[in-house]
Chains A and B, each alone.
Chain A
Amino acid sequence: MQAEYGAPGITALEAWFALLDRLRPADLETQLREVNDFFNRRVRWLDDIDIWGQEDFWATPLETLGRGQGDCEDFTIAKYVTLKELDVAEDELRLIYVRARIGRSSITQAHMVLGYYETPATDPLVLDNLVPSITRGSQRTDLDPLFSFNGRGLWAVGSSQSRADPVARLSRWRRVIDRMQQQGFIQGE
């Protein structure tokens, strides 16, 4: 960690560990808010191509924190993983592809947010890096949801099959999960 990202990286990581410790006993609302704020504050929003030298690179929380910068997927993944670490049920978290309108203009952009569903049929709480506060999805008129997914299925497969499974690496989502496992964030439960 130190070798790759230097002292700021270590600091960020330590802060993240502190956050996890602090939030573990807290209620769900606090957890959501604190996690959202933590990453929105700490990580600068940039395009992948500027950070990683490649388009649409999915980074792990470690990589995101180490750099201190990331794009919308990196924010979403980092929040998802952190909340999962805080024992939020996986079924209730979904990564949602949305079409976002920036400001008042009619320019739209591909974007990703994390949705929290109390039940599948309800309006989710949206954790976004464009708007710092957590709001209901229906109130986010600037966002137009397209499709959602989470680790279920993939995770289930991840635990039942070996990580050396060559097919597993074909999917981008699956690759980032693998890297997280390598970096010790998540156990292949």
Chain B
Amino acid sequence: MSLIKQLWLIVVVLLLLAVGGSLFIGVTASRAYIEQEVLIKNADTASALALTMSQMPKDPVTLELLVSAQFDTGHYRRVELRSPEGEIIEQRIGADAIRDVPAWFVDLVHIEVPPGHAVVQDGWRQFGTLVLESQNSFAYRSLWQSTLNLVGWFGLAAVISLLLAWWIVRQIRRPLGAVVEQAQHIGERRFTTVPAPRTRELREVVEAMNHLSGAVHNMLSEESQQLDRLRQQLQHDPVTGVLEREAFISQLQIHLDSQDARASGALALVRLAHLAGINERLGRTETDALLHEVAHGLEQFAMAYGGGIVGRLNGSDFVMLIPGKIDLEQLRHDLDRRLAAMRKHGRTPVGLPGALIDYAQGDQRGMLLASLDGTLSAAEARSDEGLMIAEGPQRRSLFTSHDEWRRALQVAMAKGVYLAHYPVLDTTGELLHFECPSRLRLASEWQPAGVFMPWISRLGLDSQLDLAVIDEAIRDITQRGRPLGINLSAASIQDVHFVMELQSRLKARPDVADLLWLELPEAMAIHDLTSFRSLCHALQPLGCRIGLEHVGASFTRIADLQDLGLAYLKLDRTLVRGIDRVAEQQTILRGMATLCHSLGILAIGEGVEHREEARVLFELGLDGATGPGIRQHKKPAD
């Protein structure tokens, strides 16, 4: 039996005891009192009447008058005068006048009072015995009334105490519920904290559990920071802290290959001119500081532009990648101002020429970089402050204007989304889920997400597309019963309307929700943690799994995310690529996998190129792998 039920039971039993006891004692005491009073009245009246009769002549008329006078003016049930032999000389009997009292109550209480006896004297002889009984219906009535009053009062008291008990129980129950929920979270390895309740006993429990959660949080922060330091050492330039050439190039390739909004954007190449001369003039330490300053300035610029990546290609060249649909002219203007500010700000006058280019899915990274380099040289030749736009590769754009794009996208979404299926397999080669990038039929061809995603986000159609994808996924799951992984865009999860729509769809189909894996790019989730949190709270109770993809740089933030109950993390391709060769990388991934497991999170490797990589990943303890190198084995039974 639950504690709450026991409390209720105690309250009810106590109330019943109090009510029953009071009623019993009250009625018994009243009855005893009434019996006493009536007894005395019987005896006294009998004596008084007998005394009167003794003094009067004993003729029948006088006796009858006396008896009648007493009976008629008083309240009696019986007045009779019997001769010493027991014969009735005179008798009056009144009706039992118990009207408004229920019979069961009369039976239950049953007032019994002996009649009053007195002897009438006639000279020395005894003339007769007077027997007198008082009417006691009034006693029943008053007892009944007082019982009703008692019951009424106790009914009121019962209602009040039950209300009070209900309130108290609720006061206990609310924090208790929070404690239980927290305990369940910890059971699911989500180390949440809850506000400490006022009830002292509960508060101690909550404080202890909060302490545990805090300790776990600290442990996670430390672990992940250590891993991140390793990653930094591996991927970042030690002087400036930005990505080194190798890492940046692979990031760029990921962007060019990607199936989402990252698939187009802009690249900027900025050179710290005359580096050799500066180095000679300032010395190595000063020059390093200057390089760091430039890199830092560019990183800040990229951050302000909605998140980008900065890398150092060689001694003097910095490259910046800004994903998303970007107006190059605008970017040139903004970057120009920024570079001008950096030139002015620096301690020594430096030249910062630059070049810009836009990229789109499918572009060759070598061509892009070569084009940038050529333009930068031209800019540098012109002046140290030039910032030129490079000639990009010739691209065939599907549509020429915004309106055309909008119309075409609307039509395509109305027609339906096609979901590609890329398997994510676990260590035994079993399917975890399919990754499903969307395709839209544009210009009578199924186009990959990289083509239309930039336009989708530019035209603000994200949540519309995501809903279309969800609908298609629901249909697909219903048909095939295989788990699917769907990408959500950052704009969608910020849209309250979208989250509600999604919630109601999944609520209607709990069977589908179980097979649905929803994922967001790590950077988006970290960037808008509030929206991501509310998304998790809204959707997790419905049974679907929520995870992050492209996890790498922000792995340190896992401590902040652990209480959300993430189901899985997809670790970024940059960490996975070449895992079978680089020992440091293996250390990092092993650490990440261990950390994920301690939180009950699946760790999945992205962008696996071949089976050897997959084998090493599973050896390191990862739970799943996906990428071009992962193909589902056709089992004979399948």
Contacts and interface: CB of A to CB of B under 8 A. Distances in A.
A123 B43 CA distance: 26
Nearest to B128: A120
B36 A165 contact: yes
Contacts of A152: 117
A131 interface: no
A145 B116 contact: no
A136 B123 CA distance: 12
A117 B85 CA distance: 14
B121 interface: yes
B117 A122 contact: no
Given A115-B124, A119-B84, A146-B121, A167 B40 contact: yes
A124 to B, nearest CB: 6
Interface in B68-127: 83-85, 114, 116-119, 121, 123-126
B125 A121 contact: yes
Contacts of B55: 146
A170 B39 CA distance: 13
Contacts of B123: 137-138, 145
Contacts, number: 58
A156 interface: yes
Contacts of B43: 153
Interface string B37-49: 0011001000100
A153 B116 contact: yes
A184 to B, nearest CB: 26
B84 A148 contact: no
Contacts of A167: 36, 39-40
Contacts of A148: 119, 121, 126
The main secondary structure of chain B at its interface with chain A is mixed
Contact of B50 (A94, A123, A147): A147
Interface string A85-115: 0000000001010000000000000000001
Interface residues of A, number: 26
A87 to B, nearest CB: 21
Nearest to B54: A147
B116 A124 contact: no
Given A147-B54, A153-B117, A124 B36 contact: no
Nearest to B119: A148
B180 interface: no
A119 B123 CA distance: 15
Interface string A123-135: 1101000000000
B420 interface: no
Given A124-B124, A153-B116, A146 B39 contact: no
A96 B121 contact: yes
A157 interface: yes
A170 B121 CA distance: 24
B124 A157 contact: no
A119 B127 CA distance: 11
A89 B334 CA distance: 132
Identify which of A121, A147, A149, A157 gathers the most chain B CB atoms within 10 Å of its CB: A147
Given A165-B36, A167-B40, A94 B125 contact: no
B51 interface: yes
Contact of A149 (B39, B118, B125): B118
A147 B121 contact: yes
Interface in A144-168: 145-149, 152-153, 156-157, 165, 167
A123 B39 CA distance: 31
Contact of B125 (A122, A126, A170): A122
Contacts of A126: 124
A157 B126 contact: no
Nearest to B127: A121
A120 B40 contact: no
25 contacts: A115-B124, A117-B126, A120-B84, A121-B84, A121-B85, A121-B126, A122-B125, A124-B124, A126-B124, A136-B124, A138-B123, A145-B123, A145-B124, A146-B54, A146-B121, A147-B51, A147-B54, A148-B119, A148-B121, A149-B118, A149-B119, A153-B117, A157-B39, A167-B39, A167-B40
Given A145-B123, A157-B39, A167-B40, 15 more contacts: A94-B126, A96-B124, A117-B126, A120-B84, A121-B84, A138-B123, A146-B54, A146-B121, A148-B119, A149-B47, A153-B43, A153-B114, A153-B118, A165-B36, A167-B39
